[in-house]
Chains A and B, each alone.
Chain A
Amino acid sequence: DVKVTQSSRYLVKRTGEKVFLECVQDMDHENMFWYRQDPGLGLRLIYFSYDVKMKEKGDIPEGYSVSREKKERFSLILESASTNQTSMYLCASTERSQYNEQFFGPGTRLTVL
């Protein structure tokens, strides 16, 4: 069974802390994505990667960075967490072909105090 896993389901951090969110997929997918989901705003794309060491900004990259050192792993980094980054973070992956569906992880609910 194909899977996208995220390192934590729930995370609580303090303002100013550096936060790492990890995502791993076992489907050998080329593309990986980080979204955040907030009430009333739906899903918004933060960053995506279409290959190892490649990354592209999404719609809301400010305050975030990413790392893709291995094909199966895509990390989202909050260099200095702020309260407005409290959100549900969702990772997804898909094959390079444009006609395939995205597979999502279970999400990480991050609270920044």
Chain B
Amino acid sequence: DAKTTQPPSMDCAEGRAANLPCNHSTISGNEYVYWYRQIHSQGPQYIIHGLKNNETNEMASLIITEDRKSSTLILPHATLRDTAVYYCIVRVVFQGAQKLVFGQGTRLTINP
């Protein structure tokens, strides 16, 4: 399984863009990068995923480097409700079902 490395914590001012980095240098060619977040006392929430092209949805943008060894999740206009732990995950397929390997994540704090 490809491992991911994320900074343990980050701060961002409300209204600014939050850029969360993730390193996954051992990722293989058919593995996707997924981002989830977990707000305190809630279950994880899917944000976005990608293979090699940049992706954008209503929640965030995902930028994957050309060599696919790292990626950045961008929350364009962070709000206080975006305070959460953000997990960068490389998806592994096992027995036909998805197995998500969660690391320690980045604790993002949005400051007023």
Contact = CB atoms under 8 A, between A and B. Distances in A.
A56 B44 contact: no
Interface stretch (A61-69, A73-81, A101-109): A101-109
A34 interface: no
A107 B94 CA distance: 24
A96 to B, nearest CB: 7
Contacts of A43: 44, 100, 102
B103 A50 contact: no
Interface residues of A, number: 28
A102 B46 contact: yes
B104 A102 contact: no
A56 B104 contact: no
A46 to B, nearest CB: 12
Contacts of A25: none
Given A98-B98, A107-B42, A42 B93 contact: no
B99 interface: yes
Interface string A43-57: 111001110000010
A90 interface: yes
Contacts of A98: 91, 93, 96, 98
